[in-house]
Structure formats: structure tokens, C-alpha cells
Amino acid sequence: MAERVEHSNNPIEILKAKSQMGAAYPKRCMSDSDWTDFERKCMVRALEVAQQGVGQVSPNPPVGCVLARDGEIIAEGWHDHLGDLHAEQAAIADAEARGVATQGATAFVTLEPCNHHGRTPPCTEALLWAGINRVVIAAEDVNPTVRGGGIACLKRAGIEVAQGLLEAEAREQMRAFMHWCERRRPIVILKAALDCNGNVDSTEGDPARFTSEESLDKVHQLRRECDAVLVGVNTVIRDDPKLTVRRVDLGKGHQPLRVVLDRRLRTPVNSEMVVDEEETLVLHCEGEGTSLECETILMPPLFSSSDEGVDLVQLLDLLGDREIQRLLVEGGPDVWARFLSDDLVDEAYIFHSNIDLGKGLRGGITSKILEDAGLIISSSDVVGVDRLEHWKRA
């Protein structure tokens, strides 16, 4: 069986831990009393293997599939990277590789199988070809190209279809995809690191890192799971960051698009993000004929003066059009404040360090400000010597 990938705040890990402790499954699933323990076990495993596609398959969702017969799991598969087999196809290929017949098996799949030709042939065809006679689905696909079509197609072919098993967990795992399908905008994840006084940088010396190695690893993991990373121009001028994924394996995923909010086009032409190989997009409201060697877009706001900068909703629409489903807002304080005051933040990761930066720049991130922006704390964990708070939309 495939190795499991660790992932903090992972609903599947939480679910598994609960089931190991003998605790009840979430209420919604308990009320769906028709499911057997074995069926739940199969879908937990399908969700677990799906996790391996996180950060690798966007703009597709991470999907997992388990094939079972006679009370036993006989094969499993997941959508591993963009352009690769879909989960159902991967599970059928796994069965073939093991020399196990799929005829008469049940497929447990975390998302409704597709029934259209996209980057791969339809999964419904693969399931029919494999002789699957029952399909259990966690969540219906909200993508307009599928939405119910896969289920209808399977039913027409005489396959028994059941749906809704661990649906909440599946929807949580595919949250960014679902959000993007419904609104054509990315979810916004804010990341900030604060010293013991709530400052983000020293105002006296050169910029210096003050969080633990483990926290840095976590930041790179977050970048790996996001399609784009955004900063304000002052951060580019002060820190000259790369904003790439380096400390964790990128696998078959791609580096996130770097986005700079730069109203007056002050980004230095020799900034790391401008001169390196990866993609950077600078959005500005004034100035033309830039010599920046990266993509720039003049984007004066539609309904206010250019002084107020790029309209953030227009920005999210633009990124959504580029199939960006998860946007990581890395700062600094001015940019965080704008996203928070417009209630545009869906999640926040706040790293608290014990280090005192001395005279410093205020981060402007407090529990009150996060709560006022509609967020509630979901966890507080030790990461190295730091404390990491995870906040989520209430």
C-alpha cells in the first residue's frame, strides 16, 4: 500500500485518530446510518490517499479511490499530478498491477467520477470497462462540466450509486476547488510571523529571520499547497524574498506564481523575484513602460482613486481567471490589514516567536483583529520553539 503523507490540520488524520480512539464519526455521517463500518473504512482510506495529490494537481481537486470486494480492499489510487491518471483510473491500474480482477467490485471515490473528456478520458468509462457494479461517492462534483453528469451516466449504465459517505470531510479536503468552482476566485490564506511584542521586523538593523527552522518548513509547505503567493512592494524592497518552495519537496507540483501589489511601480528591477526563472506578476495602478523583466498589469481600481491601490476583489477575480485556487498572502502589515479589513481572509497561520526584535515594525495582527475579520481560532500548536495559531472563517 502507498505511504501516507503527513499533513497538519488534516481532516483525515483527525478522523483516523478519532476512529482509533473509538470515538464517534462526525454527526452528519452518523445520521447516514446506512453506512457500514467497512464502507467508512474504505472511504477514510480513499480520503487518505487523496491527500497525496494536495499541492500537485491544482486546478484539479485531490481525489482518492479504493476498490473493494467481499469485505476487503483490493486496490487504491489517487490523482497524483496534473495530466496523470484520475483516482478511479489509478485504482483500476493498481488492481491490474496486482493481478486482481475488478469485476463486481465496489469503488469508493471521494468525488463524483467525471464523464467528459478533459486531460484524461472519462472516469465513468473506466469504471464501466472495469466491471465495477457499485460506486460510493463522498461528494458530488460542483464543476459545471460534471455536476451530477457522472452519477447519471453510471446509473444509466445500471451501476448502483450511493453518495454522501464522509461528504463533509471530502468537501473540506477539496475546499479550494469547490470554492473556485462556485465563485471563480481563490481562497485567501494569510501567513504572518510575529516576535514576542507583535512586531514583524526590526526598524534598526538589517532584516533577520526570527522564527524556527520548523516554522520555516511549515511556510514552505504552505507555499507548496498554494497556487500563488502575494506580498506588498515594501516587503520586496526590504527583504528581496524569493517566495519559492525550497525547503520541502515540490514533487511534480509547480512553483507558485509570485504576485506583488505595487501601486506606483517601485519594485526594483534587480529583485530576486524579477530576475529569477520563476513567474512573477506585478500589479500597479500608476506608471507605464516599466523595464521590469516580469509580467506587469496596470490595474487602476474601477470605483475609487488610484491612491487606494488595486481593488482586492478585482485582484481575486483576475487570479481566479488564471485558475489560482489558493492564494497565500505573506505580507507585510499594510497588505494584511487591507485583506483583513475587506473580510477577504479565509484562513490565517500566525507564527508567534519568543524572540524580541527590539525596536520594531508592528504587525497589526491581534486576536481581536482576526475575530473582527470573521475568523475563529481552530488550533494552537508548538512548532519548533514557536507557537503556531491556525485561524479559520467562522
Chain contacts with ligand NAP (rule: CB under 6 A): 192-193, 200-201, 207, 231-235, 238-239, 261-264, 266, 285, 309-310, 312, 330-335, 338, 361
Is the backbone peptide bond immediately before 59 cis, with ω within 30 degrees of 0?
Answer: yes
Of 233 and 327, nearer to ligand NAP (C-beta) is: 233
CB of 58 to ligand NAP, least distance (A): 24
- Select which of 48, 88, 347, 389 is catalytic: 88
CB distance 178 to 171 below 8 Å: yes
Mapped onto helix, strand or coil, the DSSP state of residue 113 is coil
- What value does the CA radius of gyration of the chain take, rounded to a whole number of Å? 23
CB of 199 to ligand NAP, least distance (A): 8
Please spell the DSSP secondary structure of 289-330, one letter per residue: S---SSEEEE---SSS-GGG-S-HHHHHHHHHHTT--EEEEE
- β-bridge partners, 377: 391
Integer Cα distance of 79 and 55 in angstroms? 11
Is 88 among the catalytic positions? yes
Of 57 and 193, nearer to ligand NAP (C-beta) is: 193
Of 108 and 351, nearer to ligand NAP (C-beta) is: 351
CB of 378 to ligand NAP, least distance (A): 20
Of 54 and 236, nearer to ligand NAP (C-beta) is: 236
Q: What is the DSSP letter of 25?
A: P
CB of 223 to ligand NAP, least distance (A): 13
> Would you tell me the crossing angle of helices 87-98 and 37-50 to the nearest 10 degrees?
110
CA-CA distances (angstroms) from residue 26 to 38, 39, 241? 16, 15, 42
CB of 325 to ligand NAP, least distance (A): 21
CB distance 230 to 373 below 8 Å: no
Of 187 and 200, nearer to ligand NAP (C-beta) is: 200
CB of 16 to ligand NAP, least distance (A): 32
Integer Cα distance of 159 and 192 in angstroms? 49
Strands across the sheet with 295-298, in order? 295-298, 280-284, 257-261, 228-232, 326-331, 187-194, 347-352, 386-393, 375-383
Chain center to CA of 278:
20
Of 43 and 261, nearer to ligand NAP (C-beta) is: 261
Residues marked active site are found at 88
